[in-house]
Amino acid sequence: MKEGVVNSAFVSNENLQLHRDDEQKPHEKAHEEEFSEGPCGWSNFTPSCLQCCNNAKGFVFIFGLLVIVQNAVVNGFFSTIISTIEKRYKLNSFQSGIIASSYDVASCVLSLVIPFCGERGHKPRWMAFSAFMLGLGSFICSLPHYTSGLYEYGANENDTVPATNRSEDSCSTSSLSALSNYFYVFILGHLIMGVGGTSIYTLGIAHIDISVPSEKSSLYTGVGYMMTILGVALGYIVGGQLLNIYVDMDQLQDVALSPEDPRWVGGWWIGYLIGLPAAWLLIVPFLGFPKHLPGTAKIHAEKVSQVHHDGSEDIVKEKDVGRSFKDFPLSLKLLLKNPVFMCLTLTATSEGMASFGTSIFFTKFIENQYGKTASISSLIAGCVIIPGAAIGQVLGGLVVSKFKMKCKQTIRLAIATSFASLMFSACYVLAKCDNPEFAGISVENGATGNLSAPCNANYNCDRSHYNPVCGVNNVQYFSPCHAGCKDHVLLSKTEVYYNCSCIEDTHNTSESKAYSGKCATMCNKLPILMVLMLIAGIITCMTSTPVITAVLWCVPEKQRSFALGVQWAFIRLLGAIPAPILLGSAIDHSCILWDNSTPGSKGTCLMYDNLKLASTFSLFSAAFKLISGIFIVVAYFLYKPPPGKDESNDKSLSTTLPN
């Protein structure tokens, strides 16, 4: 009987304990569910050999590959082929800027929704979705090559004889107009890639931050962002080499052009085609990661809060903000009312405006300023970006991690590097070149100031086919016809033109001749630009990692993914979207010779004023870097650490950074 009573009491106590477990605080139960950890694998297939990758290093490695592919295709590769697709599809810099911005339009629209919904979701699966969309968008961008027909560069146009009865080919005019419509296909492809890229720098970075201790967070974040630079550089280098391949590969034997010829169009589409399998191969490993990496719960429990003291953390904990979409307005309101977060966001936005704009058109700047081919310009850009930005990203995270900086000290580091990078905005002007001598544009052609002159008046030269030649007087002409040439001969894909009435040969007055292609530039300032841009890249990228780290630390933990989403929404809406459009439009204003072959459109710029071009880049960069520096200073003075964690008494960096 006693045994029965004891058993009954035991059962009652057990039921009471179970009842208490059911009444456990929802926050505690949510915590247990939220940090559910598991093995690496797919469904029930979890081989032991894969578990060595089931950690932060393994995730960062696969994440880094995705970041490399995304930046190689979207940023580096597209920057490389801008001048090529402008030439191929009769676009101007303003339109190129719109294509570049379309990626950020999609990301901006989704930057609030995806991070909020994915904050408590399976973040590695979101990375798999990103890889799928990046591959799809990349493939769509390659489609114009297959449907636009063979590239025609005016090879049949006879530029060396008078043509008094030339008439415009209406069929050709219609074809040129149709080419410009592929502008919308590029926009669609970049929009789809933008959908895929939204979660990478929000959910992906937040997943890394929560999986590692606070003192290592900045280092891992810096490595992740270093991969973005490697991706851009890879896009520059690979894209540049692909431009040495003729756009219609099977027609190369019938083409009398070389990559040095201004009419040459390289294989711009090949890089996009490579992007499809490169992105989709990453879907499988991302689907193999568990929702949380082993040890995440323990790491989370040991972290010390550095949230800006404005009461938002208490509200988030009390109301468990973020468990449903109904919390979206409150979560957004809390972030927008956080002055430190907003100042850091506007800092990143202004910095993004300067970086996104200049990086998109950097290869174009080298092409036009120093007379290099698209391939060589891309290689140079990659060689500058790889060491500079990669060192800067890792160095910024390493400094924060090495000195175990708190939030306010991290902001202080960002202030120092931000204003240091501002001084290097003048590098474009310091390394500018004089304009090349172009008959009728930068120098008078005979007695007039335009392409027509008495020496070619009887030729009725056509302006619809740009075929530049360089005279032995080192003056460039729009075409052999505009140089007044009568005879020509082909030598190893290089046309040599003779008896040119507009050329005065100062070396041999008995013969006036010209060679196909642009004149070689005499400017030797490219090494100066490379050195200055290398230093500027290191300092500029040392700013980004501390800013991102400070953002993660100054907001409640449950809002970190959403905070990064809000920040990226601002960066894209006010920075990445308008930057290429504004700078592209400004670049167009520095054009002094337009291709008028497309009716109703300015077409492609054939020649820029080098001083205006360099000034445009420098002023654009300096203006937004100055704004960025102002916001980061304001963030420093507004930040208040949690009670009992006053960082003003922390002397760990008193001998390293300015107060």
Of 651, 647, 652, 621, which is closest to residue 636 (Cα–Cα)?
Answer: 647
- The one-letter code for the residue type at 16 is L
DSSP letters for 110-175: HTTHHHHHHTTS-HHHHHHHHHHHHHHHHHHHHTHHHHS-S----TT---SS--TT----HHHHHH
**What is the C-alpha to C-alpha distance for residues 409 and 394, in angstroms, rounded to an integer?**
17
Q: What is the mean pLDDT of residues 375-395?
A: 83
| Structure confidence at residue 156 (pLDDT) | 42
CA distances from 239 to 141, 207, 249, 384, 649 (A): 14, 31, 16, 15, 51
Sign of CA dihedral 435, 440, 441, 442: positive
- Using an 8 Å Cβ cutoff, are 225 and 407 in contact? no
103-142 per-position pLDDT tens digit: 988 888 888 888 888 877 888 999 999 999 999 999 999 9
**What is the C-alpha to C-alpha distance for residues 494 and 505, in angstroms, rounded to an integer?**
20
Which tokens go with 461? 């030269």
The full length of the chain comes to 659
**Taking the domains of the chain in order of start, what are their residue ranges?**
52-164+177-434+523-644, 454-516
Mean pLDDT of the chain: 81
pLDDT above 50: residue 92: yes
CA distances from 331 to 314, 459, 555 (A): 13, 71, 11
The 10 Å Cβ neighbour count of residue 374 is: 26
Q: Using pLDDT thresholds of 50, 70 and 90, give the confidence band for residue 35.
A: low
Q: What is the DSSP letter of 447?
A: T
Lowest mean pLDDT among 5-14, 332-341, 595-604, 643-652: 5-14
| Structure confidence at residue 170 (pLDDT) | 42
**Secondary structure of 509-564 as H, E, C letters:** CCCCCEEECCCCCCCCCHHHHHHHHHHHHHHHHHHHHHHHHHHHHHCCHHHHHHHH
Sign of CA dihedral 626, 629, 635, 638: negative
- Helix %, strand %, coil % of the chain (to 5): 65, 5, 30
| Structure confidence at residue 309 (pLDDT) | 58
- The one-letter code for the residue type at 3 is E
Q: Using pLDDT thresholds of 50, 70 and 90, give the confidence band for residue 525.
A: very high
pLDDT above 50: residue 537: yes
The 10 Å Cβ neighbour count of residue 335 is: 20
- Residue with the bigger pLDDT between 647 and 424: it is 424
| Structure confidence at residue 180 (pLDDT) | 73
Q: What is the mean pLDDT of residues 286-290?
A: 91
**What is the C-alpha to C-alpha distance for residues 232 and 227, in angstroms, rounded to an integer?**
9
CA angle, 282 then 288 then 293, to 5°: 115
**Secondary structure of 375-386 as H, E, C letters:** HHHHHHHHHHHH
Q: What is the mean pLDDT of residues 226-231?
A: 83
**What is the C-alpha to C-alpha distance for residues 59 and 111, in angstroms, rounded to an integer?**
22
**What is the C-alpha to C-alpha distance for residues 233 and 227, in angstroms, rounded to an integer?**
10
CA distances from 561 to 335, 552, 569 (A): 12, 8, 12
Lowest mean pLDDT among 334-343, 478-487, 607-616: 478-487
- Residue with the bigger pLDDT between 492 and 295: it is 295
pLDDT above 60: residue 608: yes
**What is the C-alpha to C-alpha distance for residues 264 and 315, in angstroms, rounded to an integer?**
62
pLDDT above 60: residue 312: yes
Q: Using pLDDT thresholds of 50, 70 and 90, give the confidence band for residue 379.
A: confident
Percentage of residues in the chain having pLDDT higher than 90: 28
* H or E element at residue 498: strand 494-498
Backbone angles phi, psi at 284, to 5 degrees: -60, -50
Q: Per the CATH hierarchy, to which homologous superfamily does domain 52-164+177-434+523-644 belong?
A: MFS general substrate transporter like domains (1.20.1250.20)
Residues with Cβ within 8 Å of residue 490, at least 6 apart in sequence: 256, 496
- Using an 8 Å Cβ cutoff, are 476 and 438 in contact? yes
